Structure 1
Amino acid sequence: MDTTSSTIFIPGATSGIGLALALRLKARGSTVIIGGRRTELLERLRDEHGFDTVRIDTADPASIREAAAEVLTAHPDLDVLVAMAGIMRVEDWHAPEGFLASAEAVVTTNVLGPIRLIAAFAEHLQQRQAATIVTVSSGLAFVPLAATPSYNASKAAIHQLSESIRLQLADTSVRVVELVPPAVRSDLLPGHAENEDAMPLDAFADEVMGLLETQPDADEVLVERVGLLRFAERRGDYPQVVAAVNARDPHGKE
């Protein structure tokens, strides 16, 4: 994808990784449309940064369809979709009341959300001369954190979805690029923005932008820090990495 002249829709971009990337892409010269559930926050970001905005709830199929229609009407030149949809929940799988409702919500948002987003834009993107679908998985797709089983599984599903649709869409103008974040300081979990073991948000976003610009043909966007998890099985130190990842609780404490 061209970071300087694309028209990009990023749902879930009112905070965290999504917003950090949206700001940088806009600064490079791309047209960026951000989506989120809170109208007042969207309006503030529009006023402060000049984004185009659309209200969208990625857990709601009707909301996705309505937002897609609104985006494509206003931006018929849209050529990049960043399927940024994700929640993370700590779960206890010893009894259903400790995990079932959470697991259903995680799968709805993290797996069905991106699937429905891609479905809403796939035909349009294939009509563009060059287009990109960016999916967002996680290092936890490759090495599990015991406290967040559904999140790990949802991101593993996104990894395989990305691999599969890349093969299917190879005969089209659409590229599929998978962004694989490590732990990043954000509000994905309570207190995680202060987790000193996680990568600072600005450092992550800056490195991602550099990779997008210097490795434009890469299928996966991998900052250096996520390599520990992404390639653990290949290196042969998977058990040791699993133990290291799980030596701390989700809030970064011993």
Structure 2
Amino acid sequence: MNITNKTVLITGGGSGIGYATAKLLSEKGNRVIIVSRNAAKLEMAARELNVDYIVADVTNAEAVKDLVVKLEANFSDLSVLINNAGVGFVYKLGEGANAVEKSRQEFETNYFAPVRLTEHLLPLLKKQPEAAIVNVTSNVAFHPLVVLPTYSDAKTALHSHTVALRLTLSADTKIKVFEVMPSLINTDATKDMGGEQRGLPPIIVAEDIYNGISEDVYEIFVGEAGQQYADYLAAPETAIARFNQGLY
């Protein structure tokens, strides 16, 4: 798919992977709109990147409806949706972990929000000559990390949804559905898990997203994720134990 001269919406675009992807896609000749609920951070990012922005909480159903109205009115040629916004809690399951409340927040952002926004934007995306939906999941989408247990659950759910959506839309639309599965990335959200020391820079994800869309690679593995997935398919128990070594 050609990924120049497109209008692109990126959720969670104020920092991290979203920011890097907005920068790269804008430099490649695309019109980019970044979305976040953090107005101050979003406005600063938009000024730095010289891109459009809309303040919206994608976990709020009414805010999503308002967002879609604005997009239809001002960006009617929108053809690429990148569901990137995410949240995760570093903790371990067990007595007193409060896993239900943590998982509610994680599922609202990491699963329900992209599912909702995608469904609302399908009519607009279907109008375009070619279009794409890009869901950013994680290497924990195919096996869990014990210190991100319910985040792993949410990303696994989004992975499954992405596969079903890809098959469904391929039957009667021109919309292509991509999934991005990064390994550890150095962002503000990963400081508690060693992102600053061991994480890849966000630009690596942005470059892989651009190349993956350009080459119609529907499952985009970033960093160590590709090898981790191959290891998991070959020997699941061994791969999961290695992935979680020293954490349980």
User: TM-score if structure 1 supplies the norm length?
Assistant: 0.90
Distance, in Å, in 1 between the alignment partners of 2:74 and 2:83 is 19
Distance, in Å, in 2 between the alignment partners of 1:74 and 1:193 is 40
Query: Where do 1:159-174 residues align within 5 Å?
Result: 159-170=159-170, 171-174=172-175
Does 2:243 correspond to 1:245? yes
Letter in 2 for 1:209: Y
Distance, in Å, in 1 between the alignment partners of 2:173 and 2:126 is 6
**3-state SS, counterpart of residue 33 of structure 2:** strand
**3-state SS, counterpart of residue 184 of structure 1:** coil
1:129/1:208 Cα in 2 relative to 1: closer, same or farther (>3 Å)? closer
Give the structure 1 partner of residue 39 of structure 2: 39
Give the gaps of 5 or more residues in structure 1.
none
Distance, in Å, in 2 between the alignment partners of 1:175 and 1:120 is 16
Deviates more, 1:90-99 or 1:168-177: 90-99
1:71/1:209 Cα in 2 relative to 1: closer, same or farther (>3 Å)? same
Distance, in Å, in 1 between the alignment partners of 2:199 and 2:237 is 21
Cα deviation, residue 194, structure 1: 4.3
Give the structure 2 partner of residue 175 of structure 1: 176
Does 2:221 correspond to 1:218? no
Give the structure 2 partner of residue 187 of structure 1: 188
Query: Where do 1:57-96 residues align within 5 Å?
Result: 57-95=57-95
User: TM-score if structure 2 supplies the norm length?
Assistant: 0.92
Give the structure 2 partner of residue 17 of structure 1: 17
**3-state SS, counterpart of residue 188 of structure 1:** helix
Letter in 1 for 2:239: V
**3-state SS, counterpart of residue 198 of structure 2:** coil
Query: Where do 1:81-230 residues align within 5 Å?
Result: 81-95=81-95, 98-170=98-170, 171-192=172-193, 194-213=195-214, 215=215, 217-230=216-229
Distance, in Å, in 2 between the alignment partners of 1:68 and 1:3 is 22
C-alpha contact 1:92 1:98 (8 A) present in aligned 2: no
**3-state SS, counterpart of residue 17 of structure 1:** helix
Deviates more, 1:87-96 or 1:27-36: 87-96
Give the gaps of 5 or more residues in structure 2.
none
C-alpha contact 1:228 1:241 (8 A) present in aligned 2: no
C-alpha contact 1:143 1:229 (8 A) present in aligned 2: no
**3-state SS, counterpart of residue 46 of structure 1:** helix
C-alpha contact 1:185 1:192 (8 A) present in aligned 2: no
C-alpha contact 1:180 1:220 (8 A) present in aligned 2: yes
Deviates more, 1:99-108 or 1:87-96: 87-96
